[in-house]
Amino acid sequence: MVVQDSVDAPGVPLEPFLHQVGGHLSVMKYDEHTVCKPLISQEQRFYESLPLAMKRFTPQYKGTITVHLRKDSRGRLSLVANPLTENRGPFTVSTESAAVAIWQTLQQTTGGGALPLAQWQHPQRAHSLKESPATALLRSELRLKAQVPSLVEDANGNPTEKGSFNPWGLHCHRAHLTRLCAEYPENKRHRFLLLENVVSQYKHPCILDLKMGTRQHGDDASEEKKARHMRKCAQSTSARLGMRLCGMQVYQTDKKHFLCKDKYYGRKLSVEGFRQALYQFLHDGTRFRMELLEPIQHQLQALLSVIRSQSSYRFYSSSLLIIYDGQEPPPTPHGTNVSKVDVRMIDFAHTTYKGSWNEHTTYDGPDPGYIFGLENLIQILQGIHKGQ
């Protein structure tokens, strides 16, 4: 893939990706079907050498792009990318980003002005902008926040005063933008990975982000970081189940809001608490989505077979996404609902394998920690299935 870096190309304003439920690096929306994130060389090389069998379980890799900060005459900042030109049809730049504009308003109405570097503005008006589900969700937040109670919960399961959209992506975005402003000059070009937006086809994407494996630190981790990650694993379900909840959003059809939980909630879960959280992920506030269990288990079994065949790979600190649509599909002519679910692996900055760049250790056989987590996940879902 070629990095497009023409200063004459029209800038694409990057929006916070409102369906980011976990992780610490900010994920940005590039267009309706593409997201981008800061490039880490080890992750880029993983995508470029991805085994064919794993491609169905990872986002499509779309190359790299450069991103820079832009400041207008008022001193307001935006994060801008240059569009790709290769292997794409005509690209429409939405020069007035609705989600960005609402993000500005939300900052002003919720006290977000405490972080002035995170104020977004785009000076031109849109040509023809179709409101995305994420934009509609933010607009709904501004309109309904006074009438509808928040469904965001803190680490203890208590309601907070945050909005009805998932706040984690905005949290990551504010931290990233502030750091860029503090550490780099305005004209500094940053390389980002372009990846498939795996939730673009869902109206109300319900997402479970699971940090997989019994070990989270990479081979290159410092002793201090290694000890910190080992402690987190030992004190959470990572050690006992080979996975822990890193983030979640599930659409509640009765409230028309997402119920959201973050990594701090996930770290405190017991084994039974994890099982209950998994049950809650499949409950829409009105009923348990029983029809989702079989297709999710089927995809997890297929992924397990693939992971077992990948010798030398260790997916340290990677996550597994389970995705379905909170809006139920219409019945088929036979009177049944066919619900689409998706299972995707993400975050490969610390993945290592034989022949990988900066390889510290070569491992034999498949990743035992990841397999342990997948087997337990399948077993818990089977137990929930039998209990219904």
Q: What is the CATH number of the domain that holds 273?
A: 3.30.470.160
Whether residues 224 and 351 share a domain: the answer is yes
Say whether both 240 and 295 belong to one domain: yes
Is 350 within the bounds of a domain?
A: yes
Residue 254 placed within a domain: yes
Name the domain boundary from 177, 198, 219. Answer: 198
Q: pLDDT tens digits for 23-50?
A: 988 999 999 999 999 999 999 999 999 9
Assess whether 256 and 343 both reside in one domain: yes
Could you tell me if 171 and 311 lie in one domain? Answer: no
**33 — alpha (psi -120 to 50), left (phi > 0) or beta?**
alpha
Query: Is the same domain home to 317 and 342?
Result: yes
Judgement on whether residues 194 and 209 belong to the same structural domain of the protein: no
User: What's the pLDDT score for residue 174?
Assistant: 85
The residue out of 198, 222, 250 marking a domain boundary is 198
Structural domain contains residue 179: yes
Burial-class residue 288 by CB neighbours within 10 Å (0-12, 13-18, 19+): middle
CA distance 369 to 210: 13
How far is residue 378 from each of residues 168, 296, 375, measured CA to CA in Å?
A: 27, 9, 5
Q: Give the DSSP H/E element, type plus range, for residue 278.
A: helix 271-281
Q: How far is CA 22 from the centre of its chain?
A: 6
Strand ranges inside the chain, DSSP E: 12-13, 15-16, 28-31, 34-38, 61-71, 77-81, 190-196, 205-212, 243-252, 257-261, 314-315, 319-325, 341-346, 351-352
- Verify that 371 and 280 share a domain, yes or no: yes
pLDDT recorded at residue 272: 97
3-state secondary structure of 38: strand
Indicate the pairing of strand 314-315 with strand 351-352.
antiparallel
- Rg of the chain over Cα atoms, rounded to whole angstroms, equals 21
Range of the domain at 46: 9-101+165-198
pTM: 0.80
Q: Are residues 288 and 190 in the same domain?
A: no
pLDDT at 159: 53
Task: Specify if 120 maps to a domain.
Answer: no
**Claim to verify: residue 253 and residue 299 sit in the same structural domain:** yes
CA distance 58 to 48: 12
Query: 240 with 169, same domain?
Result: no
Residues 292 and 178 in one domain: no
Burial of 10 (0-12, 13-18, 19+ CB in 10 A): exposed
Structural domain contains residue 132: no
Domain-located, residue 50: yes
Last residue in a domain, options 198, 215, 246: 198
Whether residue 67 is found in the same domain as residue 95: yes
Q: What is the pLDDT of residue 148?
A: 27
Quote the number of domains for the chain: 2
Length of the chain: 388
Low-confidence ranges of the chain (pLDDT < 70): 1-10, 83-165, 335-337, 357-359
